C-alpha cells in the first residue's frame, strides 16, 4: 500500500476513534491559549489547567500580565517546571503582544514566532486552536514517535517531520492530525509499550522500530535529544514548545465528557 493511501486510512481511523477533536488545555481565547501552551512545555495539561485559572484571574490579558514582576509570575507558575524561563518568556510575549500587536495575539506564523517562548509547534497550536488556521502540524514527542512508527517520516527533525506530514495529510486536517495523534500516543501507541495487539491501525502501520532494539534505541536517543532540546528551548527566550498530559493507562476511547475545552471558533 502506498504511503499516501496508508495516511488516508490512518486519518479515517483516527476520526472514527476521536469524533470530537479538542485540546485538553483549558483556554477561552487566543491570549489564554498562548499562555497555556507555553506553560505546557515539559508539563502535563492537567497541571497547567490547575495553574491557569488563578493566573488569568490575576492578570486577565497581556497588558496586565506585562505589568507583573518576574518574581510574582514565577511564584504562580512554579509547579509547571522551568518556571524561571517560562516566566521570562511569558512576560516578554505579553509585552510584545501589548506593544506591537495592540493586545491581540497575532494570526500569522511569522508574527507568532517572533514572540518570546513561541516556536512553530506552539504557533501551530495557537493558530489552529484559537483561530482555526491550519498553517502547519504541531510536532511534539507523540507525533514524532507515531509518524516514524507509521512510516510517514524517516527524520528526527521536527521541522522535516512536519513537512513530511503536511505532504501526506490534507490541509484542512492538519490541526486535527496533531490533536488526534497526541491522544492516540497517550491511549494506544505508547512510547514504551505500544498496544499493537489492540490497535485498529495494524493493517496500515508498518510498526517501524517497534520491537526492534536497534530502532527503539535509535528513537529513544532521538527522543532524549528532543527532550533535552525542549528543555533548552524552554530555557531560552524566543523558543519553546508544549508538553502533554501523562500517558493514559487505558486504551479506551476518550470520554465525551473529557476535560477538553472546545476551540473558541476563531474569536481572539
Is 244 tagged catalytic?
no
Q: What is the DSSP letter of 246?
A: P
Which of 45, 140, 164, 176 is catalytic? The answer is 140
Q: What is the DSSP letter of 253?
A: P
Binding mask 123-162 for ligand SF4 (x = CB under 6 A): --------------------------xx------------
**H-helix segments, the chain:** 3-17, 30-39, 45-58, 62-65, 70-77, 83-101, 109-112, 120-131, 141-149, 158-168, 174-187, 213-234
177 binds ligand SF4 (CB under 6 A): no
Q: What residues between 204 and 223 interact with ligand SF4 by CB under 6 A?
A: 205, 207, 210
Answer for the pair 161, 155: CB distance below 8 angstroms, yes or no: yes
Structure-block grid coordinates of residue 94: 505579553
CB of 128 to ligand SF4, least distance (A): 23
CB of 230 to ligand SF4, least distance (A): 22
Distance CA 34, CA 240 (A): 11
Is 121 tagged catalytic?
yes
189 binds ligand SF4 (CB under 6 A): yes
CB of 143 to ligand SF4, least distance (A): 12
Answer for the pair 129, 33: CB distance below 8 angstroms, yes or no: yes
By CB under 6 A, name the binding residues for ligand SF4: 149-150, 188-189, 194-196, 199, 201-202, 205, 207, 210
Q: Which positions are annotated as active-site residues?
A: 121, 140
Amino acid at each position: 500500500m502506498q504511503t499516501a493511501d496508508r495516511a488516508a486510512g490512518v486519518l479515517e481511523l483516527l476520526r472514527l476513534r476521536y469524533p470530537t477533536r479538542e485540546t485538553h488545555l483549558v483556554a477561552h481565547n487566543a491570549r489564554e491559549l498562548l499562555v497555556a501552551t507555553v506553560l505546557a512545555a515539559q508539563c502535563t495539561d492537567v497541571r497547567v489547567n490547575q495553574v491557569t485559572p488563578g493566573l488569568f484571574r490575576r492578570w486577565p490579558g497581556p497588558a496586565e500580565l506585562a505589568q507583573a514582576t518576574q518574581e510574582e509570575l514565577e511564584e504562580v507558575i512554579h509547579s509547571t517546571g522551568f518556571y524561571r524561563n517560562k516566566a521570562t518568556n511569558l512576560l516578554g510575549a505579553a509585552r510584545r503582544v501589548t506593544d506591537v500587536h495592540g493586545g491581540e495575539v497575532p494570526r500569522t506564523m511569522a508574527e507568532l514566532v517572533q514572540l518570546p517562548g513561541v516556536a512553530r509547534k506552539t504557533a501551530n497550536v495557537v493558530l489552529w486552536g484559537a483561530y482555526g488556521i491550519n498553517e502547519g502540524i504541531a510536532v511534539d514527542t507523540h507525533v514524532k514517535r507515531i509518524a516514524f512508527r507509521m512510516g510517514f517520516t524517516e527524520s528526527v527533525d521536527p521541522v522535516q517531520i512536519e513537512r513530511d506530514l503536511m505532504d501526506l495529510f490534507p490541509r484542512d486536517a492538519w490541526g486535527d492530525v496533531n490533536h488526534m495523534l497526541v491522544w492516540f500516543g497517550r491511549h494506544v501507541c505508547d512510547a514504551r509499550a505500544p498496544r499493537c495487539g489492540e490497535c485498529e491501525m495494524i493493517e496500515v502501520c508498518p510498526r517501524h522500530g517497534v520491537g526492534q532494539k536497534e530502532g527503539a534505541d535509535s528513537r529513544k536517543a532521538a527522543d532524549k535529544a528532543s527532550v533535552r532540546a525542549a528543555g533548552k528551548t524552554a530555557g531560552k527566550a524566543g523558543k519553546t514548545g508544549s508538553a502533554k498530559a501523562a500517558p493514559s493507562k487505558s486504551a479506551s476511547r476518550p470520554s465525551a465528557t473529557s476535560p477538553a475545552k472546545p476551540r473558541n471558533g476563531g474569536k481572539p
